[in-house]
Amino acid sequence: MYKVLDGSAHPLAPKEIAIPAMPEDERIWVPQAEGVWFRPMMLNTLQGQWCNLLRVRRAGILSKHLHPQPVHGYVIKGRWHYLEHDWVAETGSYVFEPPGEIHTLTVPEDCEEMITFFNISGCMVYLDENNEQIGFEDVFTKIDMCRQHYIDVGLGADYVDQFVR
Ligand code: FE
């Protein structure tokens, strides 16, 4: 056992995070695209990983992307599927997206809103229909998006810091 100063964590241990998953303040949702938002929860700069909620309020194709590293998902509300697979992720579903997976996220017409928790490692590599890269996201681009949005909505540039480790 290491010697603790206050009976809890080692002084060098990162601070814990305990927050309502569903924020009361709508401004906490960061716009990602038309009808798409994410809610940051844990932005892990040490391991290149992040946890967030994805909220979608439009039907159709959202993005085609490659995951170089694993993703774990849990569907809180609604449903969605990947064009490349024949299963549907329903409310309450757990989804594992293995490294190397390429898929096209799609929300069905009869789903008004889907909310899914994702734990994403590494990055998202966005692809066009020919699998050519057209963009990427990693924990740092997510932090930058949050920071700019929280400035824009008046929460302040440092609001995102509570989610960063
Ligand atoms: Fe994915």
Is the CATH number 2.60.120.10 carried by domain 26-163? yes
pLDDT of the chain, 165 residues: tens digit per residue: 556 556 677 888 899 999 999 999 999 999 999 999 999 999 999 999 999 999 999 999 999 999 999 999 999 999 999 999 999 999 999 999 999 999 999 999 999 999 999 999 999 999 999 999 999 999 999 999 999 999 999 999 999 999 999
Rg (CA), the chain: 17
What separation in Å is there between the alpha carbon of 147 and the centre of ligand 1? 24
Q: Could you tell me the pTM of the whole model? A: 0.94
What is the predicted pLDDT for the residue at 62? 94
- How many Å lie between the centroid of ligand 1 and the Cα of residue 164? 22
Tell me how crowded residue 39 is: count the other CB atoms within 10 A of its CB.
21
Interval between CA 77 and ligand 1 midpoint (Å): 17
Tally Cβ neighbours within 10 Å of residue 157: 11
Query: Locate tokens 């309502």: which residue?
Result: 20
DSSP 8-class letter at 5? S
Instruction: Mark the residues whose beta carbon lies below 5 A from ion ligand 1.
Output: 97
